[in-house]
Amino acid sequence: MHTVGGLFSGIGGIELGFEQAGFKILWSNEIDENCAKTYRHNHKHELINEDIRKIDFGKLKPVDILTGGFPCQAFSVAGYRKGFKDDRGNMFFEICRAIEELPKKPKVLMLENVKNIKGHDHGKTAKVITNSLRELGYSVFWNVFNTSVHAGIPQNRERTFIICFKDEADWEFNLKKSCSKSFSEQMPLPKAKNKKNIKEILETGEIDEKFYYKQDFYAYKDLKKTIKSKDTVYQWRRVYVRENKSGECPTLTANMGTGGHNVPLVLDNLGIRKLTPRECLSLQGYPKSFKFPDTVAQSQRYKQAGNSVTVKLIYKIAEVIKKSID
């Protein structure tokens, strides 16, 4: 069974997707204490809850695949695209350090970031990333996948996936095929069939009244004036409400639970309400068995769901990687 190590793991969406595809997770790393609570509540393997800069990777078990959703804020529109000038952008180089220090270089890398990263700084950021990985002995493939198109879940979420294969002359055994060629022949990822609609995502049964907006809310009249359909998700963006006419949820964000910015709203029989954290997890492809612990606050639950990857999409990518290296 192929083994996986995870960096910048959040609540473990990448690890869960690889597990579903038949990989074994040996260890993961996440610095955030609240994410670590949710991670440990749902995963049994080792989690190193520590600053990645303090980890001695030479002491960890070698893995076949190294994954990492390295911090995207420095490259996103919301993060003002500071890139490597932002400490969060420099976390990419910790991945390079991990590759060099692990007892054996991983055969495959799967890195995730925002769609904008390839065009950031007129392509210079992507060039630095690509050259750094090539210098470490990897062939590098850049792909952009969409949760709606490729995972069949009604969220318009585009993300960049950087998938790399170690120079095959450096593998420990003779390969019957070129793994990188096999991977490239399976790209682009096929579109999902039987796409879900938003009503299949929304919770059934009674929803806690704390998620509903009351008439005394300062912007209630504006919300009521705009929000008319029960078949889509709206997004409140501080000063206006935007309807997603495609019937999909706009991209979930980390700050959607902190007030009137990027808040996903729906209309049901009882009124206008925010999506619940559980619904946000469903829009990221998490199974119903995945739970937030009681000790994690509502605002943190929204942040964790918004920062996560789409599990079903990771599963599909992991399946392609598995076919490429088996």
| Sign of the torsion angle spanned by Cα atoms 263, 292, 33, 71 | negative
Burial of residue 54 (CB within 10 Å: 0-12, 13-18, 19+) is exposed
Q: How far apart are CA 64 and CA 108, in angstroms?
A: 6
Tokens of 33: 């204490």
Q: How far apart are CA 218 and CA 320, in angstroms?
A: 49
Instruction: State the catalytic residue, choosing from 35, 72, 179, 249.
Output: 72
Instruction: Choose among 320, 318, 323: nearest CA to 65.
Output: 318
**What is the enclosing helix (H) or strand (E) of 313?**
helix 311-325
How far is residue 275 CA from its own chain's centroid?
Answer: 19
How many CB atoms within 10 Å of residue 155? 25
How many CB atoms within 10 Å of residue 203? 13
Strand pairing class (3-7; 24-29): parallel
- 72 in catalytic set: yes
How far is residue 103 CA from its own chain's centroid?
Answer: 27
What lies within 8 Å, CB to CB, of 154 at 6+ separation is 148, 195, 196, 197, 198, 201, 233, 247, 248, 249, 283
Q: How far apart are CA 96 and CA 53, in angstroms?
A: 12
- Active-site amino acid positions: 72
